[in-house]
Amino acid sequence: MVKSKNKAPVRLGTIQETPAKDERSSIGPSLSWVRVRRVAAFLIDYLLYLVVALVLSSLFAILAEGMMSTLALYGSDSPPASSRAADTVYGFTRYLAGVLTLAAAFGYIAITLGGPRQGTWGMQLVNLCLRRLDGQPITPRYAVAHAIVFLALNAVLTPLILLAPLVLANKQTVHDRLLDTVMTNPD
C-alpha cells in the first residue's frame, strides 16, 4: 500500500473507478447553435447557386443573341415571324439555363455532401456535417436524394416546414427525419 497526496491508502495494481460521463455527451457531438449555423450554410450555398445561375443565364442570353443575329441575317424579315423566333430562342435558352443550373446544383451536392467531408462548402464554412443515424457514410446518391426530398417537401408543404427543427428531436428537419440523418459538428 502507498499513501497518496490526499492521505487515503491506494493499492498498487488495482483499477480505480472513474466517474461516468454524461451519457448524452458520449452519444454524439454537441448540437449547440446548429439551427443558426444551418441557416447560414443554406444561405452560403444558395449564394453559390445564384452565381452559377447568373453565369449560365448570361452565357445563354449571349448565345440567344448570337442565334437571333444569325436568324436575322438568313431568315425572313417579317416582324411576326422574327418575333416568334425570338420568343422561341429566348424561351429555349432560359429553359436550358434552368435545367443546367439544377444539374450543377445536384452535382455540387453529390460531390460535396456525398464526399469525404460530408458537407457542402456552406456547411464546411460553419463547421457542420450531415450524418446518417445508422453510421453509414452519406453517398452521392443519398446526398442527391436528401436534396430532392428537401425540395419536394418545400414545394408541397411550403417553406414553413423548415420550422420543424424547433420542435423535433435532435433539431432535425422533416427531410432529415424521413432519411434518418442529423446535422452535427464534424468529429
User: 3 in a domain, yes or no?
Assistant: no
Tell me the residue length of the chain: 187
Query: Which domain covers residue 87, as residue numbers?
Result: 31-181
Cross-strand pairs, 132 = 181
User: 119 in a domain, yes or no?
Assistant: yes
Report whether pLDDT(13) > 50: no
Mean pLDDT comparison of 66-70, 81-85, 93-97, 136-140, highest-scoring range: 136-140
> How far apart (Å, rounded) are the C-alpha atoms in residues 122 and 138?
17
User: 22 in a domain, yes or no?
Assistant: no
User: 53 in a domain, yes or no?
Assistant: yes
Backbone angles phi, psi at 15, to 5 degrees: -95, 125
pTM of full prediction above 0.75: no
Backbone angles phi, psi at 3, to 5 degrees: -85, 135
User: 21 in a domain, yes or no?
Assistant: no
Proportion of the chain above pLDDT 90, given as a percent: 41
Report whether pLDDT(23) > 50: no
Proportion of the chain above pLDDT 70, given as a percent: 76
User: 4 in a domain, yes or no?
Assistant: no
- Domains held by the chain: number: 1
User: 25 in a domain, yes or no?
Assistant: no
pLDDT of residue 180: 93
Cross-strand pairs, 131 = 182
